[in-house]
Structures are given as C-alpha cells and as structure tokens.
Amino acid sequence: MRSVYRRKAPMWLLAVAVAMATPGVALADDDKTEAADTTVTEPESELTEEEITEVLSSLPVLGTGLNVTIARDDDGEIASVALDPADGSTVIKEKDHKMVFLLGDGDTRVVVKVRRDSIQTQVKADATADVTGPGSWSADVFGNGSVTIPYTVSFDGNAPAIAIGEIVTPEGVSAEVGEPKARVSDEGDKASFKVKVRLVSGEEKARVTLVAKTYVDDDGEVKVRFAVSLSERDRDEHRDRDDDDWREKSRDHDRDDDDRDHDDSDDDDQDDDERDSEDD
C-alpha cells in the first residue's frame, strides 16, 4: 500500500486565511496594509538553473525494498513524501526541511532532508541485513529527462560496499562514477564506503553521493546507515575534508537524532554520511 504524507500549512497562515475569508472579521488599524502593488515585473533570467521538484529513491530496506518519492516546493521545503509500501509506517518527526518515518518493524527509520540545493534520503537500521540488496535513485536533474542510477549495497561482515550499475541518462547528459572510498577505523568499530556520481549537462553540473556505514555504539550494538544525496551544485573545487571529518567524528560514534536530548539538533545532524555528501 502506498501512502502520501503532505506537509501541514503553518498555523499563522491558516489563521490569516480564515480571517480574510470570514465576513465581519477585519484586521486591526495597526495591521492595515497598503494597496497591493500591481507593477508587472519581468520574468527571471533563463540562466536560472532548472529546479528539481521530485526525486524517487528506491531503497534496499528490510528485504522487500521501499520506494520513497520526495516532492519539493518552490521555497525549497518538503511538499510531500510518499512511501510505497507504507504498511505500519508512521511520521515521528516533521519540519519544513526534514521528515522522519518509523517503519513497520518498529526499529528502522527513513529520514528525508530537503534544501534548495540538496535532497537526501537516509536509512537508519540495526542490522546489515536490513539495508542489503539492490536499489535505485531517479530524478529529472536538468529538466531534459530522468537520470536513473541503479546500485547494490552489500556487506562483508560489518564492512559495507556499494556497486553502481548501468546508469541511464537522457540525451545530452553524461554520468561519471568516481573512485570509491572505503575506510575502517583503527579500532575496527567503524567502517564506511562512499561513491559519487557526477552528472553534467552542458554548463550545469550535479552530484549524487551514496554512503553506507556501520559503527558499534556504546552498548556494543552494530548500527547501520545508508544515504543517497543529491547536490545540485558540484563543488569539486573545494578541499576534500574526508580525512579531517573521519578523525574528528571517530570519537562520536554518530549518535542518532533520537538519542539526543535537544530536539533542535535534528537540523544539524552530525552523521558522517550527511557531512560527506554535503561538504566534499
């Protein structure tokens, strides 16, 4: 069964709409606004890059797979997220730029994060078997047809690997798979695998980053993370901070959002997979 979760309108916006639509309800004198400006403005330059409004991420979750369709609005916020199948799934956190779903098994979480120049889908699981198998990512990145990236996630013990399949691109779009990066911490309690796919259409560039990782938490339990992230600006000229990030965050064991005391910390999630996908 497929379910679509739409973002709720802000309460202040609903209140204004009701006030304007209700006879006899007027704004206070101090709240009166000037007459609307009827000046006609010219449309924005055609040089503006194509806005990506929808992404389909087919995740290798719980052995059966999960399709996550993300729609982004004009303000760069989440418009809706559709899960298929959605049996037993519930929304446990919701913000303008982030939604967290608890899947039917009661443990696995899917996190969707949206910004103006990035869209990320992340899986948080308690076993490597829960994030193993084939998946794919698809979006109309440049406005000239969908790009589809198939992949397979596997594990050798707790060490993850991601194999990229044959990428499908529309005419005029090229795809280049970067050199994979695999790491294991000195203590052997953390492992990660990252691979980037760079997309080019004329002068426009984008990047899709896939990251799988495992770590052992303070209770000795293995935790698994997998993320697929689109960055609409390929910032390849920036210094690669992987090594610095790896050393710094190897002490943290990447505590989950749900383990943190401060609810607002969700917007500043410090997981390696998100940092890798955004800062490279």
7 vs 203, higher pLDDT:
203
Would residue 35 count as lying in a domain? no
Would residue 211 count as lying in a domain? yes
3-state helix, strand, coil in the chain (%, to 5): 15, 40, 45
Could you tell me which of 243, 266, 248, 242 has the C-alpha nearest to residue 256? 266
Would residue 193 count as lying in a domain? yes
Would residue 37 count as lying in a domain? no
Task: Band the pLDDT of 26: cuts 50, 70, 90.
Answer: very low
Task: Indicate whether 202 pLDDT > 70.
Answer: yes
Would residue 239 count as lying in a domain? yes
Range of the domain at 159: 54-279
- State the pLDDT at residue 153: 98
Would residue 99 count as lying in a domain? yes
Task: Indicate whether 247 pLDDT > 80.
Answer: no
Would residue 17 count as lying in a domain? no
Task: Indicate whether 50 pLDDT > 90.
Answer: no
- 134 Ramachandran zone, left/alpha/beta (phi>0; psi -120 to 50): beta
Q: What are the C-alpha distances in Å from 58 to residues 107, 138, 197, 248?
A: 19, 8, 17, 32
Of the listed ranges 65-74, 100-109, 184-193, 269-278, the least confidently predicted one is 269-278
Task: Indicate whether 248 pLDDT > 50.
Answer: no
Task: Indicate whether 114 pLDDT > 80.
Answer: yes
Q: Whole-angstrom Cα distance, residue 52 to residue 4?
A: 19
Residues whose CB falls within 8 Å of the CB of residue 226, separated by 6 or more in sequence, listed in order: 59, 60, 122, 123, 125, 131, 153, 160, 210, 211, 212, 213, 273
Q: How many domains does the chain have?
A: 1
